[in-house]
Amino acid sequence: MNDLESDPKRGGLRHIVRLGPYLRPVRGRVIGSGAAVLVSMMCGLAIPLVIQRILDGPVAEGDAPGLLWPVVAVAVLGATEALLFFTRRKLIAGPSTAVEADLRADLYAHLHRLPIAFHDQWQSGQLLSRAVSDLSTIRRFIAFAGIFLVVNSLTMVIGLGVLFFLDPVIGAITLACSLPLIAISTVFESRYSVLSRRSQDQEGDLATTVEESALGIRVLKAFGRGPELARRFAAEARELRGTELAKVRVLALLWGSIIMLPELGIALQLLVGTFGIANGTMTIGTLVAGVTIATYLRWPVDSIGWLLAETNQTATAAERYWEVRDAEVTITDPAEPQRLPADGAGLLRFEDVRFAYPATGGERGGEVLSGVDLEVRPGETVALVGPTGCGKTTLTALVARLADVTGGRVTVDGVDVRDLRLEELRAAVATAFEDAVLFSASVAENVRLGAPEASMEDVRTALRVAQAEEFVDALPWGLDTRIGEQGLSLSGGQRQRLALARAVVGKPKVLVLDDPLSALDVQTEAEVEHALRSVLSGVTALVVAHRPSTVQLADRVALLDDGRITAVGTHSELLATNTAYRTLLSTLDDAGADSERTRV
Ligand SMILES: Nc1ncnc2c1ncn2[C@@H]1O[C@H](COP(=O)(O)OP(=O)(O)OP(=O)(O)O)[C@@H](O)[C@H]1O
């Protein structure tokens, strides 16, 4: 999902308006903060009017004692202005960060609910930049740009009104110089919004590159691909720089016009005012007050373009945020959930199961599974074998509903997995993957991800089953040892055994293992499988097998080929009767032997 450029005509503001429900709980403080800054600006506007009175009154008449109250008024107005500015900051800091935190928490929770298919299609860097920099942009808008856009517009209107009241000519000159600014800002806004979206997407791409390089650092180092990646990164960074420079050019053009026009206006006011004073149609106080107000209005007028740019950037950030939040959660609890039978022993069945990946890049995804029928009886271990890419992993993902069948059904104890609440299904079915991902947490916390309520005794039993207790006890803090990002400080075999412990800790009825033993040496693999069998004798297990040794430990073997189960039987039956199985096994043999040689 890259380089989506927003169409300015689509009305980016609606993406900001959709943030409304998040602002509702803090609206009192947001409005209070806006009111504080508006009153503070009004105090600033009032000061030139008092100055007018001073110049045309006590100063013109040489009345020194008459200066006292106007001077006190200026001091009080100045102090109030400063105090209210401070109040604005204090009022808005809490709400803006609270909204940012709520948006971020909801995004994170939504990411967890979204199906694997969503995560397959989105780069993690794009998600990261939306969760971090786009939300910071939204926070800045709530705390600053949003409020000032309203307050500065109001100040402009009120200030112009005061100028017209003071002297219609001075008012008209200021208005004439402000109107072109609004036109220029509108043109600038549409150009800036396209650039702003582009730069935010490019930032996401950069984040993806950094993240993938950090995760794959071993591969990159082993293949000596660091310099090439660095060149690619530099090219991406240059592209982002180009977009940022284009943004600066648009801003520079805008600022040029913004600075020039008000200066021109002040020059004209001085000219007209000097003639007015000479003709006796204007007082010195009125001219000074008019020029001071026009100068005071420069910030509200000047800032409009910049505030519109911030609004644009926020609209883009909000659009990017909602793109993720609007992604459909396709795997949900059923409307009328069923329960698993209390006396169910864990019968797993695939009935005419079909599956096709969603279409990507305009191409329709072909069917990977086209009518799979398979029964794994309670307590039985079935090994799933088949040529590479035939759909073994895909089939295992359907049991715990990491993806949903596109035809047929998967049942556990006779209940369609789609009729179960996800929580109940995932407590009954545990999955361990080929890639043993561990999290930055203690050993115990990593194992407990499989069953958060598990007692310390349950954790120990699971570790024992997975032949992991011994090495965990040898770690510096035993079960409390924090393991590094993705458990990188552990060996591949240790990580696999912890992943196995995590799968069995909840005592599931059905265990789905997607070749989780691939990183173990033959002896440890046999120990783990032996322990798994003896301790969890009541578990139904479907194991994707890439090694003959794994196949031999299963009660039966199912051969998946061309989207269907083409043979089921014991290892020796299939060996004796099925040519395709014999051929496949000889390739597995070779692969197994190769991997053993690699280890030696
Ligand atoms: N997320 C995905 N989107 C589209 N196609 C996919 C996706 N994941 C897998 N496939 C395709 O589906 C087919 C089956 O993949 P799967 O990983 O299930 O095979 P496998 O039998 O487990 O392979 P292996 O033995 O190599 O692990 C392959 O052609 C693969 O390219």
Average pLDDT over residues 568-574: 89
Residue nearest to atom 6 of ligand 1 (CA): 357
Atom 26 of ligand 1, residue of closest alpha carbon: 388
Closest CA to ligand 1's atom 18: 391
Ligand 1 centroid to Cα of residue 110, in Å, is 25
Task: Specify the higher pLDDT residue, 290 or 522.
Answer: 290
Higher pLDDT, 465 or 146: 146
Residue minimizing CA distance to atom 17 of ligand 1: 393
562 lines ligand 1 (CB under 6 A): no
Pocket probe mutation, ligand 1, options 119, 123, 330, 393, max atoms within 8 Å of Cβ: 393
For 295-313, how does the pLDDT look when each residue is reduced to its tens digit (9 = 90+)? Answer: 888 888 878 777 887 888 8
| Distance from residue 392's CA to the centre of ligand 1 (Å) | 8
Out of 388, 392, 435, give the residue to mutate to test ligand 1, the one with the largest number of ligand atoms within 8 Å of its CB. Answer: 392
Any idea where the domains of the chain sit in the sequence?
A: 13-325, 348-434+508-599
How far apart (Å, rounded) are the C-alpha atoms in residues 75 and 47? 9
Q: With 80 as the cut, is the pLDDT of residue 193 above it?
A: no
| Atom 4 of ligand 1: nearest residue by CA position | 357
Looking at residue 347, its pLDDT comes to: 92
pLDDT band of residue 554 (cuts 50, 70, 90) is: confident
Q: Token pair for residue 335?
A: 């409307």
Confidence of residue 592 (pLDDT cuts 50, 70, 90): very low
Does the structure show a pLDDT above 70 at 595?
Answer: no
Token pair 């959930």 is found at: 337
What is the sign of the dihedral through the CA atoms of 449, 454, 460 and 463? negative
Atom 10 (ligand 1) nearest CA = 357
CA-CA distance, 380 to 345, in Å (whole number)? 11
Cα-based distances in Å from 428 to 102, 347, 447: 32, 11, 16
User: How far is residue 46 from each of residues 43, 155, 163, 168, measured CA to CA in Å?
Assistant: 5, 12, 12, 18
Question: What is the Å distance from ligand 1's center to 394 Cα?
Answer: 6
Q: Is 120 in the pocket of ligand 1 (CB under 6 A)?
A: yes
Tell me if 361 CB under 6 Å of ligand 1.
Answer: no
pLDDT value at 257 more than 90? no
9: pLDDT strictly greater than 80: no
Q: How confident is the model at residue 497 (pLDDT cuts 50, 70, 90)?
A: confident
Q: Is the pLDDT of residue 62 over 90?
A: no
Q: Choose which residue among 330, 350, 353, 357 to substitute to test ligand 1 binding: the one with the highest number of ligand atoms within 8 A of its C-beta.
A: 357
CA of 480 to the centre of ligand 1 (A): 37
User: Could you read off the pLDDT of 140-186 as tens digits, one per residue?
Assistant: 999 989 999 999 999 999 999 999 998 999 899 988 888 887 777 76
Q: Is pLDDT above 60 for 534?
A: no
Q: Where are the alpha helices (DSSP H) in 223-352?
A: 226-279, 284-296, 298-325
Q: For 362-410, what is each residue's pLDDT tens digit?
A: 455 688 999 999 999 998 999 999 988 889 999 999 999 998 999 999 9
Task: For residue 357, report the distance from its CA to the centre of ligand 1, in Å.
Answer: 9
Distance, CA 134 to ligand 1 centroid (Å)?
A: 34
Higher pLDDT, 292 or 186: 292
pLDDT at position 535 over 60: no
Confidence of residue 60 (pLDDT cuts 50, 70, 90): confident
Say how many Å lie between the first and final Cα of the chain, rounded. 43
Residue 559 Cα to ligand 1 midpoint, Å, equals 16
| pLDDT (0 to 100) of residue 536 | 54
In ligand 1, the atom with minimum distance to the C-alpha of 515 is 27
Q: Find out whether the beta carbon of 391 lies less than 6 Å from any atom of ligand 1.
A: yes
Phi-psi region of 251 (alpha: psi -120 to 50; beta: other; left: phi over 0): alpha
Question: Can you tell me the distance from the alpha carbon of 32 to that of 92, in angstroms, rounded to the nearest whole number?
Answer: 9
Does the CB atom of residue 388 touch ligand 1 within 6 A? yes
- 390 CA distance to ligand 1 centroid (A)? 7
How much is the pLDDT for 300?
85
Residue 559 has a pLDDT of 92
Instruction: Determine the Cα–Cα distance for residues 551 and 569; give it in Å rounded to an integer.
Output: 11
Q: How confident is the model at residue 594 (pLDDT cuts 50, 70, 90)?
A: very low
Query: Would you call 74 helix, strand, or coil by DSSP?
Result: helix
User: Residue 355 above 90 pLDDT?
Assistant: yes
**Kindly report the CA angle at 433 between 429 and 438, in degrees rounded to 5?**
105
Q: Is the pLDDT of residue 353 over 90?
A: yes
- List, in sequence order, every residue forming a beta bridge with 567; answer none if it has no partner: 559
Contact 342, 414 (CB under 8 A): no
Indicate if ligand 1 lies below 6 Å from the C-beta of 396. Answer: no
Residue with CA at minimum distance from ligand 1 atom 1: 120
39's tokens = 């009153």
Per-residue confidence band for 520, with pLDDT thresholds at 50, 70 and 90 = low
Inform me whether the pLDDT recorded for 343 exceeds 80.
Answer: yes
**287 C-alpha to ligand 1 centroid (Å):** 79
State residue 5's pLDDT score: 42
Nearest-atom index, ligand 1, CA of 391: 18
Cα 393 to averaged position of ligand 1 atoms, centre (Å) = 7
The pLDDT of 5-25, averaged and rounded, is 76
Position 500 scores a pLDDT of 84
pLDDT of amino acid 529: 67
Residue 4 confidence class, pLDDT cut points 50, 70, 90: very low
What's residue 600's pLDDT? 24
Asked whether 389 lines ligand 1 (CB < 6 A), one says: yes
The yes/no answer on whether domain 13-325 falls in CATH 3.40.50.300 is no
Work out the average pLDDT over 580-584: 86
Share of the chain above pLDDT 90, in %: 35
Q: Whose CA is nearest to atom 29 of ligand 1?
A: 389
Q: Which two tokens stand for residue 80?
A: 């109030």
For ligand 1, say whether the CB of 537 is within 6 Å of any of its atoms.
no
Whether the pLDDT of residue 246 is over 90: the answer is: yes
Q: What tens digit of pLDDT does each residue of 95-142 get?
A: 899 999 999 999 999 998 898 888 888 888 888 888 988 999 999 999
Assess contact for 465 and 529: CB atoms under 8 A. Answer: no
What's the token pair of residue 268?
């004209």
At residue 560, does pLDDT exceed 50? yes
| CATH architecture, domain 348-434+508-599 | 3-Layer(aba) Sandwich (3.40)
| Share above pLDDT 70 across residues of the chain, in percent, rounded to a whole number | 90
Residue among 114, 350, 355, 394 whose CB has most ligand 1 atoms within 8 A, to mutate: 394
* Mean pLDDT computed over every residue of the chain: 84
* Atom nearest to 560 CA in ligand 1: 21
For ligand 1, is residue 390 a contact (CB within 6 Å)?
A: yes
> 353: CA distance to ligand 1 center in Å?
16
Taking CA atoms only, the protein residue closest to ligand 1 atom 9 is: 394
Residue 124 Cα to ligand 1 midpoint, Å, equals 20
Specify the pTM: 0.74
Whether the pLDDT of residue 486 is over 50: the answer is yes
Note the ipTM here.
0.96
